[in-house]
Amino acid sequence: MRKALYLMGILDDRDLEWLVKNGEAQFIKSGTTLIQEGGSIDSLYVLLDGKLSVTIGRGVEVASLLSGEIVGEMSFVDSRPPSASVVAIQDCQVLTVPRASLKRRLEEDEAFAARFYRAMAVYLADRLRTTVSRFGYGSAKQDADPHQVDELDDEMMDSMSLAAVRFDELLRRLRVN
């Protein structure tokens, strides 16, 4: 769930309220392709429950995603087609936030935009650090201690408990078990 905590820790309660009102909780049946590599994408997704598989090329799995992961964020940020496919490997619940609604909110509310893009930057930086460490490009200390990569700095730790409360509230508001 840690990835959504970045988002929930940086956004405020009004932002969460906006996500609940403008997003839609959707059931995704196992086997459904949520995002097609190279295709178009019109929403940002937060995985509320279930398991997704991220694949590239001819179905090579590069990641498994669990509750709290964000999907479609790279294509949202850079407007390029998805570089991977995302398939439900269990029945899932996702919060679907339409791209057009989110884009409009970002254009109309500069404070929200600043918080949202900061959250995306922190989220994507964490993903890049994790990816780089998996390929052995990190420091020798990282290679010796694989848990170091998952450590958070003090500033992020301060916001994690609030983020967890906000994510739980999001699940409660969307009635996801």
Mean pLDDT of 131-151: 56
Q: What's the rounded Cα separation, in Å, for the pair 84 and 8?
A: 25
What pLDDT was estimated at residue 163?
74
User: Smallest Cα–Cα separation from 33: which of 86, 75, 98?
Assistant: 86
Q: What's the rounded Cα separation, in Å, for the pair 79 and 160?
A: 29
Mean pLDDT of 102-110: 97
What pLDDT was estimated at residue 149?
47
Task: Tell me, rounded to whole angstroms, the distance of Cα 61 from its chain centroid.
Answer: 18
The three-state DSSP-derived secondary structure of 101-150 is HHHHHHHHCHHHHHHHHHHHHHHHHHHHHHHHHHCCCCCHHHHHCCCHHH
Residues in the chain: 177
Examine the pLDDT at 50 and tell me if it is beyond 70. yes
